[in-house]
Amino acid sequence: MTAYDLLVVGAGITGLAAAWEASEAGASVLVLDPAQQVGGKVSTERVDGLVIERGPDAFVAYRPAALDLVDELGLGGEVVGVGPDRTVHIRSGGRLRPIPEGMGLGVPTRLGPFLRTHLLSPWDKARAALDLLLPRRLPDEDVAVGPFLRARLGNGVVDRLAQPLVGGVYGAGVDELSLDAVLPNLREDERGHRSLLLAGLSQGRARRAAAGTPSDSAPGATSPFRSLRRGLGSLPEALQAALLERGATAARRSASAQRQPPSRRARRAPRCGMARCRPSEWVRWSWPRERIRARNSLRGERPTLLRRCARSPTGRAPSSPSPGRRTRSTSHRSATAGSRPTLRR
């Protein structure tokens, strides 16, 4: 049997990246996954020259980890930005409305599109403008993204923009996401500019100047999203090929070995202790009688678990009713018509 330094369960992008880092350190890696293809949720179909993403379609460019991994795999030339003809919509008020151009993950980087958008009401825009006057509010300890953005920009920006964008990227609500883990740049923005709006507009101007676009006339220039020319699915595919070249081992479950539904007898088998047992193992898995009685005496319960486990190997329950089970009495009825039967222990 081959010995491995690391066992990775799951060939999604997280598992493959962990295996890649371990293989760089010289560890022997075994990757296990029941699926027939790697990538997990990151999956791309290519049909008739069209690239169809079945899961996520982009990654954020301001977090360098993804771009560094792409460069290490030799896919740097495949990175593409968001095209100028791409428009993302958010359903609001029963209609699909486009996201304002230059909108980051909760903070705008262009003033004109933010003021013209119909996603926000005039009150929401006025409340967001209050951020220009507010003092610094972040404590030293970590906070959630949602409460911080609500305090700075108001509920409208959070509910209609930050929640769909940030929550859509990370698959959770903004009130549950850590600011330092998800958007650490916001802490630096408040520390350096005091206002998130001032920081976002300053970053937008710097990006347009670096890209050679002097005005707001270049859509997509300030987008924080990047993708790959052949789809994001090419990233786990390249990771798999590179890991195999380094000597890593991948094991998948064949189609004939997929999990079969349990038989009727197995479904009706009781739980003995913490494991599901076959009928021939019920007595062997039953707990000691003294232990069950001592435990149930502390809880004030009858030893029902003992009766469940102490069945015969044939799987037949005792014929006599258990003294601890609730039974419906049918022999003692009230003389009054329509009375309900009583419950007795």
Of the two residues 280 and 94, the one the predictor is more confident about is 94
Alpha helices in 12-160 (DSSP H): 13-24, 64-72, 111-116, 122-129, 145-153, 155-157
User: Does residue 254 carry a pLDDT above 80?
Assistant: no
pLDDT at 85: 62
pLDDT (tens digit, 9 = 90+) per residue, 66-86? 899 999 999 989 998 866 566
What DSSP assignment string belongs to 73-94? TT-GGGEEE--TT---EEEETT
Of the two residues 37 and 341, the one the predictor is more confident about is 37
Residue type, 25: A
Of the two residues 90 and 208, the one the predictor is more confident about is 90
pLDDT (tens digit, 9 = 90+) per residue, 299-317? 554 444 444 444 444 444 4
Give the 3-state secondary structure percentages of the chain, helix then strand then coil, rounded to 5.
40, 15, 45
Average pLDDT of the chain, as a whole number:
75
User: Does residue 161 carry a pLDDT above 80?
Assistant: yes
Mean pLDDT computed over 123-150: 93
pLDDT (tens digit, 9 = 90+) per residue, 313-334? 444 444 545 455 454 444 444 4
In angstroms, the CA 155 to CA 128 distance is 9
pLDDT (tens digit, 9 = 90+) per residue, 185-216? 899 999 999 999 999 999 888 878 876 654 44
| Length, in residues, of the chain | 345
Mean pLDDT computed over 77-105: 82
Residues sharing a CB contact under 8 Å with residue 54, sequence separation 6 or more, in sequence order: 43, 44, 45
